[in-house]
């Protein structure tokens, strides 16, 4: 069972080798003149206080929760989709109810203004 995944690991190994190789090459070939001016974060050339002042609105949290709601449904949808032809009408009705409940949540979130992002 494990051998099936070997090619994947080999591929990823090659990816790692490429990445590490490039890094090593860059550090050996590239110049190393680090000056304090180079180190400050770029913000259009004017002096900056870095990124700690960033306040983020709650709509990011809302999107994350909506993502959780709809992504977990994949955990249930994929096994059903795989066996769909062998499940008969019980499977169909069950999943239509499942998807319509999701439709209701989507309509609810839509009407409650979860998707008005900016204004």
Q: Which of residues 85-104 bind another protein (CB under 8 A)?
A: 85-86, 89, 92, 95-96, 99, 101-104
- Closest separation in Å from C-beta 51 to another protein: 4
64 sits near another protein (criterion: CB under 8 A) = yes
29 sits near another protein (criterion: CB under 8 A) = yes
33 sits near another protein (criterion: CB under 8 A) = yes
Distance, in Å, from the CA atom of 109 to the CA atom of 4, rounded to the nearest integer, reads 43
Q: Which residue is associated with the tokens 């069950």?
A: 94
16 sits near another protein (criterion: CB under 8 A) = yes
14 sits near another protein (criterion: CB under 8 A) = yes
- Number of alpha helices (DSSP H) and beta strands (DSSP E) in the chain: 4, 0
# residues contacting another protein (CB under 8 A): 95
- Closest separation in Å from C-beta 105 to another protein: 8
74 sits near another protein (criterion: CB under 8 A) = yes
56 sits near another protein (criterion: CB under 8 A) = yes
68 sits near another protein (criterion: CB under 8 A) = yes
Taking the CA atoms of the chain, what radius of gyration do you get in angstroms? Answer: 25
Under 8 Å CB-to-CB from 70, ≥6 apart: which residues? 102
Distance, in Å, from the CA atom of 22 to the CA atom of 17, rounded to the nearest integer, reads 8
């Amino acid at each position: 069972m494990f051998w099936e995944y070997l090619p994947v690991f080999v591929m990823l190994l090659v990816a790692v080798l490429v990445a590490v190789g490039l890094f090593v090459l860059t550090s050996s070939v590239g110049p190393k003149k680090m000056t304090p001016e180079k180190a400050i974060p770029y913000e259009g050339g004017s002096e900056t206080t870095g990124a700690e002042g960033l306040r983020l609105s709650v709509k990011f949290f809302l999107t994350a929760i909506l993502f959780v709601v709809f992504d977990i449904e994949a955990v249930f949808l994929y096994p059903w989709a795989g066996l769909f032809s062998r499940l008969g009408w019980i499977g169909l009705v069950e999943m239509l109810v499942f998807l319509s409940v999701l439709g209701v949540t989507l309509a609810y979130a839509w009407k409650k203004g979860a998707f008005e992002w900016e204004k």
